[in-house]
Every structure is written in C-alpha cells, then in structure tokens.
Structure 1
Amino acid sequence: MARRDFDPATVKPDGRAPSKGVLVKAGNEGPWRGSLEGLALGGPITVLAYGTDEVGKGPRLHVHPYDETFVVIAGHARFHVGETTIDAAAGEVVFGPAAIPHRFENLGPGRLQTIDIHHSPTWIQTDL
C-alpha cells in the first residue's frame, strides 16, 4: 500500500547536510557498545547501543530530563519505569517518559541487545 501522509511540496529543507557517525565501535568491551549524540549528526536525538549476555544485568536506576524510547533488538528484557514493570522481547519497543526513574535487565536466556533513543541532542543522565 502506498502512503501519502503529506504533500512533499509543503515541506522545505532546513539546510542541514546529510551526515553519518559511528554508534558501535569494533572491539568495544562491556555492555555499552557505543553512543552517538545528535549534536554530532545535527539531529535532535541521541542513540545508545547496549548489550549483555549476563542474565539479570542491565543499567542501574537512572533518570533523564527528556523521554527515552527503547528498541529491543535481541533477547528479553524487564523494564522498570517508575512503578510500572514491562517485559519486552526482540522487536518490541518500550517508552520511558521524561523525569520518571527507570532501568532494565536481561531476562535471558541469551543475549539482550537494545538501541536506546534519547529524545535530546545530548545524553543527560542522573544515576540514582
């Protein structure tokens, strides 16, 4: 099915050039595979890559002043967002609203890999 959600004639380029950056660097050790701030690309979001093979492991409880969207690429995760617990598997997406403390962990079996989209051109975080 072809989509036509808007008239392309009504949108004008803003002058930014296309760009690219490196998110995951070969040989990165540990769960944080990489991050790429939106400022480096001239865009409004920051992207992080997280992965672990250890069941029960994940980022510590933390909070951001902006929204965060998590894309589960592989495995199974349990997200704790404020008072809400959400289990998610590969192909699913979880939303964490601004100013709500959150964390997630690998439920296993096997590897958990996520792409974490920070709705900010810079990564701003306070660990709790």
Structure 2
Amino acid sequence: MVEVAGSGAVVIKRADGREDGEEWTENYTELPGGAGVSLILESTTKEGAGPRLHKHPYAETFIIRRGSATFTVGTDEIVGTAGQILVVPADTPHKFRTGPEGYEAIHIHANPTFETIWLE
C-alpha cells in the first residue's frame, strides 16, 4: 500500500500488512517519488539459500542486518556478516549463499528496475 503525504513524501507499507521489520521479504521496483533505485528485502532462516551467478549493468549494494552470507564477487569469496555493507560494482558477476544462522539484508539496485543477466 502506498500513501502520499501532503509534502509529496511517499510511504510504502508492507504488502502482508505487518507493521514490524521482521521476516520482511519483498521486491520493490519503479519506486514512486523519483527514488531511482529498486530494492530487494530478503529475510530467511535457511542456510544455503541465494541466487545463482549473475550480474547487473549497475552497482548493487547489500546492507546485511542479520546473519551472514558467503558472496562470490568476481574471483573473490567474501563472508558478509550482520552490520556490514557490501558494494558489488556494475557488470561484476556475483552470487551468494546464506550462512547457518540465516540472513536478512536490504539489496539496493542502483537502477529503477531490475536488469539481471544470468550467468549460470
């Protein structure tokens, strides 16, 4: 649900109607208000979850709020943990697998829509 304040500020409420930040998993693209980014909110308690190798023609930023994930970024393997921010440059192949305690993060795509090239 989208609400627009008198100032033009936009408030987007959870599709599931909850009013907390827990277990929030949604994709947002073409956000109103000229945000210029798209978002993936990811929350899982599963180990080993994550996308296959892919890249985007723009940078992707991961803000890790809980748990961990092992990222493959180009030829590097990086363990990202709660409290860290990982920025993957444009056109860089990447994927991740969630850690044993799960994973919660905000993925910010520096583009108003998702443009993904799947490599595997």
Whether these two folds match at TM > 0.5 is yes
- The corresponding residue for 1:116 is 107
**Equivalences for 1:60-75 in 2 at 5 Å?**
60-75=52-67
Distance 2:87 2:28 in 1: 19
Measure how far apart 1:41 and its partner are: 3.5
Distance 1:32 1:124 in 2: 22
Counterpart contact for 2:51–2:95, Cα < 8 Å? yes
Distance 2:66 2:31 in 1: 27
Distance 1:36 1:56 in 2: 24
Counterpart contact for 2:68–2:99, Cα < 8 Å? yes
AA paired with 2:49? K
Report the TM-score when normalising by structure 2. 0.79
Report the TM-score when normalising by structure 1. 0.74
Which deviates the most, 75-84 or 47-56?
Answer: 47-56
**Equivalences for 1:101-112 in 2 at 5 Å?**
101-108=93-100, 110-112=101-103
Q: Does 1:25 align with 2:15?
A: yes
Higher Rg: 1
Bigger share in strand: 2
Measure how far apart 1:89 and its partner are: 0.8
Bigger share in helix: 1
- The corresponding residue for 1:93 is 85
Measure how far apart 1:53 and its partner are: 1.8
AA paired with 1:67? A
Gaps of 5+ in 2: 1-6, 18-22
- The corresponding residue for 1:50 is 42
Aligned length: 108
Gaps of 5+ in 1: 1-15
